């Protein structure tokens, strides 16, 4: 008998230690402010193998804030139920509540959980919601302002860069009573690429909210040309301006006939002969945002006139030779405006009498235009990068008098004129590689 006595005691204790019902809360500690509701999610589980009816009771101060003090419900075996316990506080302070659940059939089957509620003072006026969205070159700011009484409210929007330096300020005045949704648009196209923060503040109340945003890089170096000429000379001024939002590198090429007397007033980085033209190339590194650089050169006609008499026979001979020789191939670039963008057409004309070897055509689209992958005719190789999109057609050998049309579509990303760079084709002769350029076009 003594052997079975400990076992009997254990068997009697085990059922007593098993809970018939359990209760949990999420959260256990809640934080809100005066007149702002808060919800606790109370979960009750019937841990018995039999159905039962239960009562949930809330104990603590200011029970008038709670949406329920008692709640009756039924649970099947091992069934759980989530009950929303809402508080609507109207006085600041720290409060503690006991939430108890017990069986109506067996009141000794019960469980409880303690929750705490911290109520902060009422902020009036206040900013309830605040969000920002960067759309193109504009920062769209949305906020909800609350005020218990009607008042004229001054609102400041302050933008700072990553070094906490204030770069833009917008101040507005709005009449607020109750709740009011306020939306403002701030132009940020003049800001450099990088990380920024915006703080919105209710003037005279000290209430503020902050948000971060990022301006992506835009590469946009544009050129313009001015020509002043007379019978003796022509002076060309090319202005290069960085209208993007990042420091950029840029190269400029000018192809001029080799038989002209050209005097660069700004020394080029490179100067070489290509396909009967003299190519002047200027390279610039670290072109600052908004920086403008002028390049000038002169074409002096008088030197040609001086040698006209001497060279007349040679020129006539060259003209005759040029007629009989192989006509140089060319490439033309044009566009057709479409509803969903622009169709770019490259017209490639081969030589008059000879076959061209290893013909390659290249074109480039700036980051301000997006290439639509819809091609008619030969499909190019498409390479995308931060400085734009490059399209490459490998045409192989081109027979005499050949005409090939290469097309692609682009959609401009900005509402403005979009200057397209020149396309070019290259081919191999016996001893060198020849490059032929098209003209630039401007998409309207």
According to DSSP, residue 66 is labeled: B
Determine whether 282 is exposed, middle or buried from the number of CB atoms within 10 Å of its CB (0-12, 13-18, 19+): buried
C-beta pairs of 399-403 under 8 Å, 24+ apart in sequence: 399/350, 399/355, 400/350, 400/351, 400/352, 400/353, 400/354, 400/355, 401/350, 401/351, 401/352, 402/348, 402/349, 402/350, 403/347, 403/348, 403/349, 403/350
* Separation CA 329–CA 402 (nearest Å): 10
For the CA atoms of 334, 337, 340, 343, the dihedral, rounded to the nearest 10 degrees, stands at -20
* Separation CA 42–CA 30 (nearest Å): 13
pLDDT at 211: 93
Distances, alpha carbon 20 to alpha carbons 9, 75, 82, 135, 402, in Å: 20, 12, 17, 58, 92
Q: Which structure tokens are listed for 91?
A: 């006085």
For the chain, which domains are there? 17-120 (2.60.40.10), 126-215 (2.60.40.2360), 221-318 (2.60.40), 327-443 (2.60.40.290)
* Separation CA 432–CA 399 (nearest Å): 19
For the CA atoms of 350, 355, 358, 361, the dihedral, rounded to the nearest 10 degrees, stands at 0
Distances, alpha carbon 223 to alpha carbons 89, 198, 239, 269, 296, in Å: 65, 34, 6, 18, 13
pTM, two decimals, is 0.46
* Neighbouring C-alpha atoms within 13 Å toward the C-beta of 116: 5
Q: Are 418 and 390 in contact (CB under 8 A)?
A: no
Distances, alpha carbon 290 to alpha carbons 190, 191, 246, in Å: 9, 11, 10
Q: Are 97 and 56 in contact (CB under 8 A)?
A: no
Q: Are 34 and 90 in contact (CB under 8 A)?
A: yes
Relative to beta strand 381-385, strand 388-398 is antiparallel
pLDDT at 317: 52
pLDDT at 11: 44
Q: Which structure tokens are listed for 275?
A: 């396909």
Q: Which structure tokens are listed for 8?
A: 């009997």
Distances, alpha carbon 120 to alpha carbons 36, 130, 178, 201, in Å: 10, 20, 20, 20
Q: Are 120 and 94 in contact (CB under 8 A)?
A: no
3-state secondary structure of 16: helix
Q: Which of 350, 250, 234, 355 has its CA nearest to residue 296?
A: 234
According to DSSP, residue 217 is labeled: P
* Separation CA 420–CA 251 (nearest Å): 15
Q: Are 85 and 137 in contact (CB under 8 A)?
A: no
pLDDT at 139: 95
How many other β-carbons are positioned within 10 Å of the β-carbon of residue 198? 21
Q: Which structure tokens are listed for 356?
A: 């061209």
pLDDT at 205: 83
Q: Are 230 and 301 in contact (CB under 8 A)?
A: no
Would you mind telling me the total number of residues written for the chain in this entry? 444
Relative to beta strand 270-274, strand 277-287 is antiparallel
pLDDT at 257: 87
Phi (first) and psi of residue 419, to 5 degrees: -85, 125
Q: What is the DSSP string of 338-403?
A: ETTEEEEEEEEE--SSS-EEEEEEEEEE-TTEEEES--SSSPPEEEEETTEEEEEEEEEEE-TT-E
Distances, alpha carbon 402 to alpha carbons 331, 392, 407, in Å: 12, 19, 16
How many other β-carbons are positioned within 10 Å of the β-carbon of residue 111? 18
Phi (first) and psi of residue 193, to 5 degrees: -65, 140
* Separation CA 339–CA 417 (nearest Å): 16
pLDDT at 54: 95
The residues of the chain scoring below 70 in pLDDT are: 1-18, 304, 306-327
Q: Are 414 and 243 in contact (CB under 8 A)?
A: no
């Amino acid at each position: 008998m003594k052997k079975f006595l400990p076992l009997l005691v254990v068997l009697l204790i085990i059922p007593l230690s098993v809970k018939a019902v359990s209760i949990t809360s999420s959260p256990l500690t809640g934080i809100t402010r005066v007149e702002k509701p808060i919800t606790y999610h109370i979960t009750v589980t019937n841990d018995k193998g039999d159905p039962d009816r239960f009562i949930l009771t809330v104990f603590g101060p200011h029970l008038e804030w709670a949406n329920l003090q008692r709640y009756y419900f039924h649970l099947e075996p091992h069934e759980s139920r989530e009950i929303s316990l809402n508080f609507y506080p109207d006085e600041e302070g720290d409060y503690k509540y006991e939430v108890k659940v017990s069986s109506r059939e067996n009141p000794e089957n019960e469980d409880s959980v303690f929750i705490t509620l911290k109520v902060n003072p009422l902020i009036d006026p206040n900013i309830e919601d605040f969000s920002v969205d960067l759309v193109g070159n504009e920062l769209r700011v949305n906020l909800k302002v609350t005020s218990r009484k009607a008042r004229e409210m001054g609102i400041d929007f302050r933008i700072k860069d990553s070094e906490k330096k204030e770069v833009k300020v917008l101040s507005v005045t709005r009449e607020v009573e109750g709740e009011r949704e306020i939306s403002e648009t701030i132009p940020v196209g003049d800001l450099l690429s990088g990380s920024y923060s915006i703080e919105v503040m209710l003037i005279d109340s000290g209430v503020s909210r902050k948000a971060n945003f990022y301006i992506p890089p835009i590469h946009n170096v544009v050129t313009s040309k001015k020509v002043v000429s007379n019978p003796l000379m022509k002076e060309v001024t090319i202005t290069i301006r960085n209208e993007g939002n990042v420091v950029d590198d840029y190269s400029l090429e000018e192809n001029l006939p080799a038989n002209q007397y050209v005097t660069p007033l700004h020394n080029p980085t490179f100067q070489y002969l290509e396909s009967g033209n003299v190519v002047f190339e200027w390279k610039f590194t670290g072109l600052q945002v908004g920086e403008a650089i002028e390049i000038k050169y002169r074409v002096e006609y008088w030197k040609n006139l001086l040698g006209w008499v001497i060279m007349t026979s040679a020129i006539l001979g060259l003209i005759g030779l040029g007629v009989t020789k192989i006509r140089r191939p060319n490439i033309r670039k044009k566009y057709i405006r479409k509803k969903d963008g622009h169709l770019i057409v490259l017209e490639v004309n081969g030589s008059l009498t000879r076959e061209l070897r290893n013909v390659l055509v290249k074109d480039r689209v700036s980051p301000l235009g997006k290439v639509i992958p819809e091609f008619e005719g030969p499909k190019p190789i498409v390479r995308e990068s931060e400085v734009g999109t490059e399209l490459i057609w490998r045409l192989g050998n081109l027979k005499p008098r050949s005409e090939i049309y290469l097309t692609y579509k682009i959609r401009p990303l900005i509402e403005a004129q979009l200057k397209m760079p020149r396309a070019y084709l290259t081919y191999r002769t016996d001893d060198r590689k020849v490059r032929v350029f098209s003209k630039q076009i401007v998409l309207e």
